[in-house]
């Protein structure tokens, strides 16, 4: 899927055409605001067109854009639609409902998205058929997201997480090339990250727990290399190795004979490699944080070398 192609539905564009044809009037404001670029959109055409312009990116690969006030365009659109309805009543209900449903869909609030899509479908207007297609898809999304996970057995819990990932992967294939593909990828990534967190928290009670954590992180990075959260996952993996190095130093006093500087440094160097990968990524939001972690790790390594002599 092209990362920045027209990822919103064709129905949204049609909605804008309907609005333009209808001549949805602006609210009269005799005195312009001191800074017009920060003013709230005055009519539905502006609200929908800005949502189309800023809210169309792939939510798996890119952060949700902000409007000029610094607010997520998805949240801002919901607030603006509410304000529009408060000022203008329930006109253009299908367009408002469809836009609101799409915003909730991209926020992964499938319950609310379904509520508004169903309202549009019941109205039977020009957007009804598009709404029905979203309903069919999101009912499956909601069902998978609501699946109960077993809480009594760690291996069964991990197995259930893997089952859920397979379900999301099936939806990724089914909805390839549509905005729903990126949503399914976000959901699959969340489950993969939850698996890593669970294994990491319970590693002492699992056979080969440390190795299982490393494998889980490696799978996470391999599966989600194109994710906007990829560099965050790399830093978290580095933090895991840093915690192993710190834990080793706590259990084996560096001043004593049991401490092996090579064992300590094997953990520290693994962390350093991961931090360096992020620190070398120009433009990555996590680059500054990675550099800070590198400096902190260098300080810890030097301290352990001194103490172990």
Same-domain check for residues 239 and 283: yes
28-57 pLDDT, tens digit each: 444 444 444 444 455 899 999 989 888 777
Same-domain check for residues 155 and 133: no
Q: Which of 86, 120, 141 is the last residue of a domain?
A: 141
- Domain for residue 3, yes or no? no
Same-domain check for residues 155 and 299: yes
Average pLDDT, the chain: 88
The DSSP output letter for 64 is P
Question: Could you give the CA distance from residue 114 to residue 128 in angstroms, rounded to a whole number?
Answer: 13
* pLDDT value of position 57: 76
pLDDT band at residue 101, thresholds of 50, 70 and 90?
very high
- Domain for residue 110, yes or no? yes
- Domain for residue 5, yes or no? no
Question: Could you give the CA distance from residue 28 to residue 48 in angstroms, rounded to a whole number?
Answer: 19
280-295 pLDDT, tens digit each: 999 999 999 999 999 9
Q: What is the DSSP string of 241-295?
A: HHHHHHHHHHHS-TTSTT--HHHHHHHHHHHHHHHHHHHT-TT-TTHHHHHHHHH
Angle at 167 between CA 165 and CA 171, to 5 degrees: 110
- Domain for residue 2, yes or no? no
* pLDDT value of position 223: 97
Same-domain check for residues 58 and 130: yes
Same-domain check for residues 218 and 78: no
pLDDT band at residue 110, thresholds of 50, 70 and 90?
very high
- Domain for residue 4, yes or no? no
- Domain for residue 1, yes or no? no
Question: Could you give the CA distance from residue 77 to residue 136 in angstroms, rounded to a whole number?
Answer: 24
Domain containing residue 96: CATH number: 1.25.40
* pLDDT value of position 27: 42
Q: Is the pLDDT of residue 9 over 70?
A: no
Question: Could you give the CA distance from residue 20 to residue 44 in angstroms, rounded to a whole number?
Answer: 9
215-263 pLDDT, tens digit each: 999 999 999 999 999 999 999 999 999 999 999 999 999 999 999 999 9
Overall average pLDDT of the 6-35 stretch:
46
* pLDDT value of position 13: 54
* pLDDT value of position 6: 41
pTM for the whole thing?
0.84
Q: How many CB atoms within 10 Å of residue 150? A: 12
Strand ranges, E, within 43-99: none
Same-domain check for residues 93 and 113: yes
The DSSP output letter for 38 is G
Same-domain check for residues 161 and 297: yes
180-228 pLDDT, tens digit each: 999 999 999 999 999 999 999 999 988 899 999 999 999 999 999 999 9
Domain that holds residue 77: 10-141
Same-domain check for residues 50 and 118: yes
In total, how many domains does the chain have?
2
Same-domain check for residues 156 and 106: no
Residue 158: name the closest of 237, 213, 210 by CA: 213
Overall average pLDDT of the 129-142 stretch:
97
64 in Cβ contact with 49 (< 8 Å):
no
Q: Which of 107, 141, 175 is the last residue of a domain?
A: 141
* pLDDT value of position 11: 52
Q: How many CA atoms lie within 13 A of 18 on its CB side?
A: 19
């Amino acid at each position: 899927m092209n990362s920045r192609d027209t990822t919103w539905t064709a129905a949204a564009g049609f909605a804008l055409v309907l609005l333009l044809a209808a001549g949805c009037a602006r609210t009269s404001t005799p005195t312009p605001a001191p800074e017009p670029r920060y003013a709230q959109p005055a009519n539905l055409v502006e609200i929908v067109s800005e949502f189309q312009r800023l809210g169309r990116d792939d939510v798996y690969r890119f952060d949700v854009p902000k409007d000029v006030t610094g607010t997520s365009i998805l949240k801002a659109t919901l607030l603006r639609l509410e304000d529009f309805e408060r000022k203008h009543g329930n006109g253009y209900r299908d367009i408002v409902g469809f836009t609101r449903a799409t915003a909730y869909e991209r926020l992964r609030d499938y319950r609310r998205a379904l509520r508004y899509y169903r309202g549009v479908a019941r109205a039977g207007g020009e957007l009804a058929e598009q709404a029905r297609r979203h309903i069919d898809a999101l009912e499956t999304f909601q069902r998978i997201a609501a699946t109960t996970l077993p809480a009594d057995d760690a291996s069964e819990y991990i197995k259930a997480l893997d089952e859920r990932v397979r379900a999301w992967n099936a939806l990724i294939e089914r909805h390839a090339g549509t905005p729903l593909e990126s949503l399914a990828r976000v959901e699959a990534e969340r489950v993969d990250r939850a698996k890593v967190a669970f294994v990491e928290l319970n590693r002492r009670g699992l056979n080969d727990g440390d190795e299982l954590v490393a494998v889980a992180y490696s799978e996470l990075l391999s599966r989600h290399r194109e994710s906007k959260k990829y560099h965050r996952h790399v830093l978290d993996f580095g933090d895991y190795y840093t915690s192993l190095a710190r834990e080793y130093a706590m259990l084996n006093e560096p001043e004593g004979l049991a401490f092996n500087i090579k064992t300590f440094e094997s953990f520290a160097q693994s962390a350093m490699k991961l931090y360096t990968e992020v620190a070398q990524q120009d433009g990555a939001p996590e680059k500054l944080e990675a550099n800070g972690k590198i400096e902190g790790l260098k300080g810890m390594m030097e301290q352990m070398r001194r103490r172990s002599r």
